[in-house]
Structure 1
Amino acid sequence: MPSSAMPTARRADGQPSSSGVSATGLRKSYGEKTVLDGIDIHVPAGTVFALLGPNGAGKTTAVKILSTLISADEGQARVGGHDLATEAHAIRGAIGVTGQFSAVDGLITGEENMFLMADLHHLPKSEGRRVAAELLERFDLTEAAKKPASTYSGGMKRRLDIAMTLVGSPRIIFLDEPTTGLDPRARHNMWQIIRSLVSGGVTVFLTTQYLEEADELADSIALLNNGKIAAQGTAEELKRLIPGGHVRLRFSNPATYQSAASSLRDATRDDEAMALQIPSDGSQRELRAILDWLDSTGIEADELTVHTPDLDDVFFALTGAGKSKENAR
């Protein structure tokens, strides 16, 4: 799906916002292995962008390039309005990066980790302590602040990791698989944190191994496979790329069910459940047509449900991965 289908963030005055992250033709190879093969990315400011793909697809490589940790072989990019090739220092001052593995030092306290980050950002001592205290409170870590970080749970360490990333007030944050290894409760807490960051105007570039996470959080999604962008758009747009959507009508009256089944010859019957399955892309237009047909025939279904392919279906169809419902990295 072309990137033009992706939503555009707007300022309070209704005008389009500047791009948070944009890249054109990014290429990166290691020897004969091409990791990124000319990818284009556009992330409007103040939105969440999710980069999905199987293991080895190049997600982390893309993050490392855009966060100035490594250089691309070819292509152009701008991050926070700065050119990647000529303004790397300015980009580093505008971004925060939370990698797959925590940057938290377990030998010192959470508070001391925060102070260390404040020193690295050259904040005056009084300001550093103020920022640290505010962030520890924001991430519900005040009570544990003076305890060694090694005693923190996985979720607490991840919260501290992101709090440390925010010490420099970045407007763009790269989160490389931020919830890997967290239990469901901690993962949902992290989602709330990400949403609150975006509501404050921060742009989030997210890679994740959880398809549900991208579905929940992302304004736009790109699926990376074999070094290329296989598809991109909103979650709903991506789901419509895959066949298999349908509307299911369930009946409790056998006579009504038989009448509907006779009229809808293209529907798939489930006589045991007294249900009919009608192929549909889940669009409002098709749903309205089905409802109009029910009204015109006087047939009344007891239950109508719309089923569309999920991101798992999109992922497996476009990457050629084995058809299983396991999470994909």
Structure 2
Amino acid sequence: MESVLSIRQLSKTYASGLHALRNIDLDIRRGEIFALLGPNGAGKTTLISIVCGIVNATSGRVVADGHDTVADYRAARAKIGLVPQELSTDAFETVWATVSFSRGLFGKPPNPGYIEQVLRDLSLWDKRDSKIMTLSGGMKRRVLIAKALAHEPQILFLDEPTAGVDVELRLDMWEKVRALRERGVTIILTTHYIEEAEEMADRIGVIHGGELIVVEDKHTLMRKLGKKQLTVHLQAPLAQVPPELADYPLELTADGHALVYTFQTQGEGTGIATLLRRINELGIDFKDLHSSESSLEDIFVGLLRTRA
């Protein structure tokens, strides 16, 4: 697929000697939702800030929709919208005024019809004459998105867009993000809610210690790095795993009432059917079977542990 954002050998070292980013190479595809995951201090916000022209890179290059973010800054920045974590706008301004002002900052001519549509899409139309200071936290988040969309960007960065909002509003905002993608906007989001990335993203990137340690299609990542477990609940407890089953990666629960078989999602090891047949041949009766699969959170935590 066509790349709308190209990042090459991007590094950032602060005066303190902190290496915030180390040789980041990343291509974001046009029209995708890309989730960037990582612990606090991993480099997520630094990466976004460099792409958006807020922080200068030590080395490397960023091209946004064909425009170099340094050599052709104005054209590149006009392609990008940023929804920051914190609200930074005049608390005494109205919703309509602050969103309209954001459009003007990029030299876009007034377009009341477009601003109205953005506010309606974000359920802000009834609040258009309200001052920012009177809005709830969730509504302020929506205003941030409206400001970012005011100049009709092709690339939208969402930095922790649902942090601190309730579950109902989070689900509503997920719908809004999907609708933006349907209109052709490329979405890059950072989030601490792993289920948010699992629900929405097409691809996942994990950054740790300033390095991009994995970039993968979400389903491919979960298939390659995920694991499945089959729990065999027994009629009677066992004191230990029978020696005849030593070839299988089995664990016995502490109470002896279940055998747990763990295998990669890409394959079934020596085979579930064969395992169950061997259990039956040994005269071990079981009353129930339960299967589970690694979540994206499990994979994320596992990746960070291997890099620790």
- Taking structure 1 as the reference length, the TM-score comes to 0.78
Separation of aligned partners in 2, 1:83 and 1:188: 35
Does 2:132 correspond to 1:132?
no
Does 2:39 correspond to 1:22?
no
Equivalent AA in structure 2 for residue 204 of structure 1: I
Give the equivalent residue in structure 1 for 2:144: 161
Cα deviation for residue 210 of structure 1 reads 2.3
Report if aligned partners of 2:78, 2:106 keep a CA contact under 8 Å in 1.
Answer: no
Does 2:69 correspond to 1:69?
no
Separation of aligned partners in 1, 2:8 and 2:27: 9
Cα deviation for residue 39 of structure 1 reads 1.2
Residue ranges of structure 1 left out of the alignment (5+ in a row): 1-15, 324-329
Give the equivalent residue in structure 1 for 2:180: 197
Distance change in 2, residues 1:234/1:147 (3 Å): same
Give the equivalent residue in structure 2 for 1:303: 289
Per-residue CA deviations over 1:81-106 (Å, capped at 9, x if unaligned) read 22233222211111111111123432
Per-residue CA deviations over 1:103-156 (Å, capped at 9, x if unaligned) read 34321221222222233344444xx21112111111111222222221211111
Does 2:276 correspond to 1:290?
no
Cα deviation for residue 211 of structure 1 reads 2.2
Cα deviation for residue 245 of structure 1 reads 4.1
Give the equivalent residue in structure 1 for 2:93: 108
Separation of aligned partners in 2, 1:159 and 1:230: 32
Distance change in 2, residues 1:122/1:79 (3 Å): closer
Residue ranges of structure 2 left out of the alignment (5+ in a row): none
Report if aligned partners of 1:95, 1:171 keep a CA contact under 8 Å in 2.
Answer: yes
Report if aligned partners of 1:282, 1:306 keep a CA contact under 8 Å in 2.
Answer: no
Report if aligned partners of 1:246, 1:282 keep a CA contact under 8 Å in 2.
Answer: no
Does 2:18 correspond to 1:33?
yes
Report if aligned partners of 2:226, 2:299 keep a CA contact under 8 Å in 1.
Answer: no
Question: What secondary structure is seen at the aligned counterpart in 2 of 1:76?
Answer: strand
Per-residue CA deviations over 1:183-213 (Å, capped at 9, x if unaligned) read 2222222222112111222111112222222
Cα deviation for residue 75 of structure 1 reads 1.4
Give the equivalent residue in structure 2 for 1:12: none
Distance change in 2, residues 1:307/1:273 (3 Å): farther
Give the equivalent residue in structure 2 for 1:5: none
Give the equivalent residue in structure 1 for 2:258: 275
Give the equivalent residue in structure 2 for 1:150: 133
Per-residue CA deviations over 1:276-297 (Å, capped at 9, x if unaligned) read 31121123x4299424765897
Report if aligned partners of 2:227, 2:265 keep a CA contact under 8 Å in 1.
Answer: no
- Give the alignment of 1:197-216 within 5 angstroms: 197-216=180-199
Cα deviation for residue 38 of structure 1 reads 0.8
Separation of aligned partners in 1, 2:86 and 2:93: 17
Report if aligned partners of 1:248, 1:305 keep a CA contact under 8 Å in 2.
Answer: yes
Question: What secondary structure is seen at the aligned counterpart in 2 of 1:174?
Answer: strand
Equivalent AA in structure 1 for residue 5 of structure 2: V
Question: What secondary structure is seen at the aligned counterpart in 1 of 2:8?
Answer: strand
Report if aligned partners of 1:242, 1:313 keep a CA contact under 8 Å in 2.
Answer: no
Cα deviation for residue 77 of structure 1 reads 2.2
My pick for the range that moved more, 201-210 or 100-109, is 100-109
Distance change in 2, residues 1:39/1:271 (3 Å): closer
Cα deviation for residue 30 of structure 1 reads 0.7
Distance change in 2, residues 1:287/1:216 (3 Å): farther
Equivalent AA in structure 2 for residue 206 of structure 1: L
Separation of aligned partners in 1, 2:197 and 2:54: 24
- Taking structure 2 as the reference length, the TM-score comes to 0.83
Separation of aligned partners in 2, 1:205 and 1:303: 40
